[in-house]
């Protein structure tokens, strides 16, 4: 398979899985291993397509994220600035822990066996949590406190283990803290923006932008495909969670984990 076809396929997978509680990193590891798409460029490519997916959130929620519109009343402008501040606070735990432990985690845990195991465990946890009857107390993102934002950011640290899912960890963490499901999802999406911008910038600087013309083309294709795919998925997901829980994703994780473990046996 050509590099461009791999870029398209992986961009689609990233766009579909980034915001669902099924682990985009886990899927990229599994598919990348199957396609023999590994190494330094593959790692940079993964971060770039994640940035493309995150950009879709900026576009989809632009009115909720852009504080400089002249039509906005001062109170709403302050709310948006506060949301950005909470999003930045939420990523602090992950940035600190990633700086210390990410290389060790990547060297030891980024493999299909670990991904399958965490998919399985995460799927079971999702099913167990969804059996609980939780009455949400926080019905708007603006009602999330800075302490809650930091706690949700702590949940995000679990996603450094491939297969856990950043979306699953942060959304479920927010729900356990009392946030309504749509509120938890929105804040999870918002806090991904500063996190992925930092990760993408760091990865590109580390690589030194030393890519061939073909590699630059693959990065561009993957970025655009991930952006377009994720844009559609975000809209569908936000509509879905207003009426449904995450049970179907729990079962999906368990089935995929079983398939991967069977193939590895």
**Residue of 183, 94, 97, 197 whose CA lies nearest to 145:** 183
* Whole-number Cα distances in Å, 203 to 44, 45, 199: 6, 9, 6
- Give the pLDDT of residue 265: 86
Domain count, the chain: 1
Q: Containing domain of residue 63, as a range?
A: 3-264
Entry field: residues in the chain: 265
Q: Burial of 99 by CB count in 10 Å (0-12 exposed, 13-18 middle, 19+ buried)?
A: exposed
Extract the tokens encoding 254: 């368990």
CA distances from 114 to 53, 160, 161, 257, 260 (A): 24, 12, 8, 10, 10
pLDDT recorded at residue 12: 98
Within 13 Å and on the Cβ side, how many CA atoms surround 163?
28
- Residue 196's pLDDT is 81
List of the chain residues with pLDDT < 70:
207-209
Closest to 195 in 3D by CA, of 153, 163, 231, 224: 153
CA atoms within 13 A on the CB side of 10: 36
pLDDT (0 to 100) of residue 204: 72
What pLDDT is stored for residue 207 in this prediction? Answer: 67
- pLDDT value of residue 7: 97
pLDDT of residue 211: 83
pLDDT of residue 37: 93
User: What is the pLDDT at residue 133?
Assistant: 81
């Amino acid at each position: 398979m050509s590099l461009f076809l791999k870029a398209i396929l992986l961009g689609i997978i990233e766009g579909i899985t980034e915001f669902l509680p099924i682990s985009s990193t886990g899927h990229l590891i599994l598919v990348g291993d199957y396609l023999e798409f590994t190494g330094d460029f593959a790692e940079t490519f993964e971060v770039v397509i994640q940035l493309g997916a995150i950009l879709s959130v900026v576009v989809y929620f632009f009115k909720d994220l852009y504080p400089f519109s002249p039509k906005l009343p001062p109170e709403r402008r302050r709310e948006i600035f506060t949301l950005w501040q909470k999003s930045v606070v939420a990523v602090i735990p992950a940035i600190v822990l990633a700086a210390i432990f990410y290389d060790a985690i990547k060297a030891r845990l980024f493999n299909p066996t670990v991904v399958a195991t965490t998919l399985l465990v995460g799927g079971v946890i999702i099913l167990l949590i969804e059996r609980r009857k939780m009455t949400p107390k926080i019905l708007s993102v603006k009602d999330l406190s800075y302490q809650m934002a930091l706690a949700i950011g702590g949940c995000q640290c679990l996603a450094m283990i491939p297969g856990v899912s950043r979306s699953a960890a942060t959304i479920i963490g927010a729900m356990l803290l009392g946030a309504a499901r749509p509120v938890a999802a929105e804040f999870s999406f918002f806090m991904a923006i500063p996190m992925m911008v930092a990760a993408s910038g760091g990865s590109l600087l580390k690589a030194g932008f030393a890519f061939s013309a073909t590699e630059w083309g693959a990065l561009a294709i993957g970025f655009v495909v991930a952006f377009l795919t994720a844009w559609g998925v975000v809209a569908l997901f936000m509509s879905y969670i207003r009426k449904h829980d995450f049970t179907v994703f729990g079962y999906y994780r368990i089935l995929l984990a079983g398939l991967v473990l069977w193939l590895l046996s």
